Amino acid sequence: MKARTLGRHFRESFKSIGRNGWMTFASVSAVTVTLLLVGVFVVIMMNLSKVADDLEKDVEIKVMVELTADEAARATLEEEITNISGVAEILYSPKEEELNDLVMDFGEDLRLFEQENPLHNVFYAKAVNPQETEAVALAIDELDNTFEVKYGKGKIEKLFSFLNTSRNVGLVLIIALLFTAMFLISNTIRITIVARRRDIEIMKLVGATNWFIRIPFVLEGIWLGILGAIIPITLVTFLYYKIYHMLSPKLEQGKLFELLEFSPFIYQVNALILLMAVFIGIWGSFMSVRKFLKV
């Protein structure tokens, strides 16, 4: 194919968008609705996943050291915990620090315990895979010089099962959404096909090759896809901007979890929407001309 023919295909595809008034409108609308749904959903799912990760990361194992353990025994215990496979990090907090934390939380009255500190020295450990916290905790409990090992039994399991369920539900919803989108778009394509059937037949009778017919249609599909991406990208960006700036200050106080930062997250989502738009456009136009190229 000559370069000027490619130029001709570009011009032709733009012209066709203008001249196909209502068909352009119908296709762009279908793409807009689809991408808006996908965009909103991706933002929700990604944030849910982020929240889940944040919550998981907060899961710690509290290892209280036996009161009788001396400095050497404590060092041995630290090393033994570190050597357990599946332990990610370990943090030592001597009993003075523990008391300090209590004073912070419950008031100066507790300072009177400073003379005779009844608390244990503590190791805080985290599992590499938070879902294996229980197994790691049990392994630590086996070691010498541990007084008690706590990890929020029960509560954690519930959290994990909640997070896993919501991930699965999200996956199912995304698949359902994709089917809806395909239905919506293939319906639009079916309308387009009827309108194009005769045109394609004529083009072939005048001596056009399949690619000569196909390329302008595919280019037109890409432009329609991009046009259909404008509203979703604008709306998703605007809404996330609003929600992010409304919720973030409150979540920062709570310290439990945070939303994904506006940048670069929203730009990645926008890139995804645009990519899908182009893909839908190419796929759609291929489908709508495929059947009639055999004349």
Partner 1 sequence: MIEMINVYKKYPNGIVAANGINVEIEQGEFLYVVGPSGAGKSTFIKMMYREERPTSGEIIINGTNLAKLKASRVPYLRRQIGVVFQDFKLLPKLNVYENVAYALEVIEEAPSVIRTRVMEVLELVGLKHKARMFPTELSGGEQQRVSIARSIVNTPKLVIADEPTGNLDPETSWEIMNIFEEINARGTTIIMATHNREIVNTIKHRVIAIEGGLITRDDARGDYGYEG
167/204 with CB nearer partner 1: 204
Instruction: Outline where the chain has alpha helix (H).
Output: 3-19, 21-57, 71-83, 95-106, 133-142, 155-205, 210-254, 262-290
Q: Are 146 and 63 in contact (CB under 8 A)?
A: yes
Query: What angle in degrees, to the nearest 10, is found between the helix axes of 133-142 and 155-205?
Result: 150
Q: How far is the CB of 34 from partner 1 (least distance, A)?
A: 26
Tell me whether residue 194 or residue 246 sits nearer to partner 1 (CB atom): 194
Give the single-character DSSP code of 259: P
Could you tell me if 37 and 177 are in contact, meaning their C-beta atoms sit under 8 angstroms apart?
yes
Stretch that binds partner 1, among 14-22, 38-46, 152-160, 165-173 (CB under 8 A): 14-22
3-class DSSP state of 120:
coil
Q: CB 227 → partner 1: shortest distance, Å?
A: 18
The least CB distance from residue 5 to partner 1, in Å, is: 5
The least distance separating partner 1 from the CB of residue 226, rounded to whole angstroms, comes to: 21
Contact letters for partner 1, residues 210-249 (x by CB under 8 A): --x-------------------------------------
Quick check: 60 and 151 in contact, CB under 8 A?
Answer: yes
Contacts with partner 1, 188-217, as mask; x by CB under 8 A: -----------x-xxxxxxxxx--x-----
* Cα separation, 259 vs 255, whole angstroms: 11
The interface with partner 1 within residues 87-146 (CB under 8 A) comprises: none
Type and span of the H or E element at 125:
strand 122-127
For the bound state, the minimum distance from the C-beta of residue 277 to partner 1, rounded and expressed in Å, comes to: 24
Residues that bind partner 1 (CB under 8 A): 1-2, 4-5, 8, 16, 19-20, 199, 201-209, 212, 294-295
